[in-house]
Amino acid sequence: MEILQTVAAAIVTLGILVTIHEYGHFWVARRCGVKVLRFSVGFGKPLYRWYDRQQTEYVIAAIPLGGYVKMLDEREDDVPPELRSQAFNTKPVGQRIAIVAAGPVVNLVFAVFAYWLMFVAGINTVVPVIGELKPESVAMQAGLQSGRELIAVDGHQTRTWEEVSLRLAARIGDSGELRLRTRELNGTNERELSLPIQRWQFDEQHGPLFTLGIEPYRPQIPATIGSLVEGGRAQQGGLQVGDRVLMVDDQSIERWEQLVEQIRNRPEQQVRLQLERQGRVLELALTPARTQAEDGQAYGYIGAGVQQVSWPPEMMREVRFSVIEAVPAAVAKSGQMIGLTLESIWKMLQGLISVKNLSGPITIAKVAGASAASGLESFLNFLAYLSISLGILNLLPIPVLDGGHLLYYLVEAVRGKPVSEKTQILGLKIGMSLLLGLMLLALYNDVLRL
């Protein structure tokens, strides 16, 4: 069932973004007098089709991994003389640029709308309060203290952990000083500290906070089983939802993190659990399965989830804007994400960011499913971010993508004549190879994350 939900969320997410992207091309093409032959969401065999009064065919196809708008074009089909004025290739270069750019631009505009909707609906979030600090970490050496709220990173206000992470992510690959401003929770005693960084790196698994030695504050979570994976070692060993683990072997357990640490350190090694179930103390034995992380390290895994606990009211915050206030907030958020995406691409080309950060369809599907399950706020946030990524990706000057066509048309606008067909075919081959290579690399990263 979970797999079906993930696939359904991915199809809905991609369907929305592809439809918006292609509608941008479609809408501007119609305004420029170009005859649109087909508007397809998906590739392959049509599952459903219909026509409008201008005989444009609308198609929902079987493979939901993209879409396209097919326009009348003399380079692709024979065009009757009476329709030549409606062919894409006969339009002035300025109109062709507008039609090609419209898809990515609409994706960026849609991101602003999604963020606006999210801000108007309101964001319920955890206050970014520092929890434990790792001994001898960069954060501890700089004088950071547990229990204080992180209110700014490099001079930018941070009201949520997401904003903290995004500001930190913007510094990946950098050297110099990272400025953090903190204050007492709900207080006014502010301090600013500088953390030295040198070609700073962090991986997707651990994130920037872990690299600095910062653990976000979390309420103490008892080692109570909240869920079990069907057929997992925990279920096979006799654990039940609601069980409170008291001891692992001879180690007393008070918090969930202690239980996780004990299990992770014992792959394929039998452990004895003492637990409380409905007022009775029981003992049982089980053997954690072995799972392997990207770094090659083996960890134990039993397939059990924690029972959720309530956060203290003072640790929760609602970020909400009025309909008018949400407009500049959404524009600023979109601008931040666009800047972060472009900067990440540039740093990846410089070798400052590992290509392991590239994600493909499997990761997109997993995140889409998780964000949809987490509620409207998370789904809108992911939808906006993916829309920005899709818009920027299509604007890259790679033949095959919209950005490649824009490059040709811009050169044509400057030279006063089209780029030669031979050059375009060569660019097409290079672009196809480059795009295929990126797709295979992203897919390889997806498989490693599994």
Residue 64: Cβ within 10 Å count: 20
Q: In this structure, what DSSP letter does residue 231 have? A: T
Going along 16-138, which residue ranges are E strands?
Answer: 36-51, 57-71, 123-126, 130-133
CA separation for the pair 231, 229 (Å, rounded): 6
> Is 22 a known active-site residue?
yes
Catalytic one among 2, 22, 276, 283? 22
CA angle 134–136–140, rounded 5-degree value:
65
Longest dimension (CA), the chain: 88
Question: Between the CA of residue 174 and those of 77, 152, 314, 352, what are the distances in Å?
Answer: 51, 18, 35, 8
Question: What is the C-alpha to C-alpha distance for residues 19 and 25, in angstroms, rounded to an integer?
Answer: 10
Neighbours of 192 (CB within 10 A): 11
Shortest CA distance to 260 belongs to which of 206, 306, 329? 306
Which residue, among 96, 209, 169, 150, has the nearest Cα to 337 in the 3D structure?
169
Side-chain-facing half-sphere of 30: CA atoms under 13 Å: 12
User: What positions carry a catalytic annotation?
Assistant: 22
